[in-house]
Amino acid sequence: MSRPLREVVFVDGVRTPFGKAGPTGIYAETRADDLVVRCIRELLRRNPSLPPERVDEVAVAATTQIGDQGLTLGRTAALLAGLPRSVPGFAIDRMCAGAMTAVTTTASGIAFGAYDVAIAGGVEHMGHHPMGEGVDPNPRFVSERIVEGSALVMGSTAENLHDRFPHLTKERADAFAVASQQKYAAAVAAGHIGPELVPVATRSAAAGWGLATVDEPPRPGTTLEALATLRTPFRPHGHVTAGNAAGLNDGATGCLLAAEEVAAELGLTPGMRLVGFGFAGVEPEVMGVGPIPSTEKALARTGLTIDDIGLFELNEAFAVQVLAFLDHFGIADDDERVNPWGGAIAVGHPLASSGVRLMTQLSQAFAQRPDVRYGLTAMCIGIGMGGTVIWENPNWDGAGA
């Protein structure tokens, strides 16, 4: 029996404000699963024409699946959010690309016809669960030289990238980081960043109750001169600093996906249409190059070229890995198509949640850019991988790529 695939649309995306991990961060005394619950509830509130019982699946990613971000998070968050008990859910892990994989997995189910509507997202509370907490890597990884020891330390893999591509200097990485901070600040001032944020009630035993409404990590006054003085914690006289890399952060994201005809039936307005995606493996020691082959794979499978892409949302885990991507595809560091509203160096990178932040930002940009037909979200992934998802703008007016 032949079964035609259905078009899949990204209807809406939301996220909590991102916080700084640690005892003084805004979410220090807030549970990780409650951050996810806020996102799910906000998606339902913003899309009142969607009957909750029409949600067929909830997929929520976390890199460290223990404590308050464990226990089959998609299912437990769905119950806590008030979805009907008939709505199933599951947890997923692909490190930094967890939410991205939650999207591609549920979207594939929608295309195949297994689901009509799904919620996908991710959370990382790095203040409660530092990356790698409770992990016991198999000693054979190093003893049998399957990977070098540096492959298990993400900052060291970024230093390895600087070694492999010496023209990607610290000065160039710092300049990219300053631009990220500046673009983010300009986007907030213009109102581009903010509509997707879900206010979160916070508590502190010392300070009482509060309300998180804005991102905590950005440093809008960042200068090249200040970045030049920062220490390089992963290597003496190295290149990677706290200024040209994403920080340690807490936050959650969520998005609503649907078959295109089901969205029309339910009165849901598509923000993007899924074109295709690709994941690829690379040497774990230089995991930052991962988005290069994953993008090449996604482009080849969709019949597109890099010149067809009018907007790029690239996760800025480290400035050097974005620069490696741009150099490979012949794109200038300051190309206005790339992260036009800033990126993770400014806003933060709560690991498994970030993929949906990229998608939400691209969807919002699409609404303002009917001249752009195709956009791309991509990120590097720990242990040597990359992920890329290509989207089409339903608002495209035929005027440009």
Three-state DSSP state, 31: coil
The label of the residue with tokens 């806020």 reads 38
When computed from its CA atoms, the radius of gyration of the chain, rounded to whole angstroms, is: 20
**What is the Cα–Cα distance from 323 to 168, expressed in whole angstroms?**
7
The label of the residue with tokens 């502190």 reads 204
What does the CA dihedral 78, 252, 362, 338 come to, rounded to 10 degrees? -160
Tell which phi-psi region holds residue 390, choosing left (phi > 0), alpha (psi between -120 and 50) or beta: beta
Catalytic-role residue among 125, 162, 239, 349: 349
Verify whether residue 96 is a known catalytic residue: yes
Verify whether residue 255 is a known catalytic residue: no
**What is the Cα–Cα distance from 348 to 309, expressed in whole angstroms?**
25
Task: Say how many C-beta atoms besides its own lie within 10 A of residue 251's C-beta.
Answer: 33
Instruction: State the amino acid at position 43 in one-letter form.
Output: L
Catalytic-role residue among 39, 96, 125, 129: 96
Contact predicate 59/119, CB 8 Å: yes
Phi/psi of residue 314, each to 5°? -110, 130
| Contacts with 48 (C-beta within 8 Å, 6 or more apart), sequence order | none
**What is the Cα–Cα distance from 71 to 36, expressed in whole angstroms?**
13
Q: Write b or e for each residue in 74-94: b if 16 or more Cβ atoms lie within 10 A of its Cβ, otherwise e.
A: bbbbbeebebeeebebbbbbb
DSSP strands (E only) in 18-88 = 19-20, 57-61
**What is the Cα–Cα distance from 99 to 97, expressed in whole angstroms?**
6
DSSP strands (E only) in 235-372 = 249-259, 272-281, 309-314
> 199: which DSSP letter?
P
Verify whether residue 39 is a known catalytic residue: no
SS3 content of the chain, % helix, strand, coil (to 5): 35, 20, 40
* Residues forming the active site: 96, 349, 380
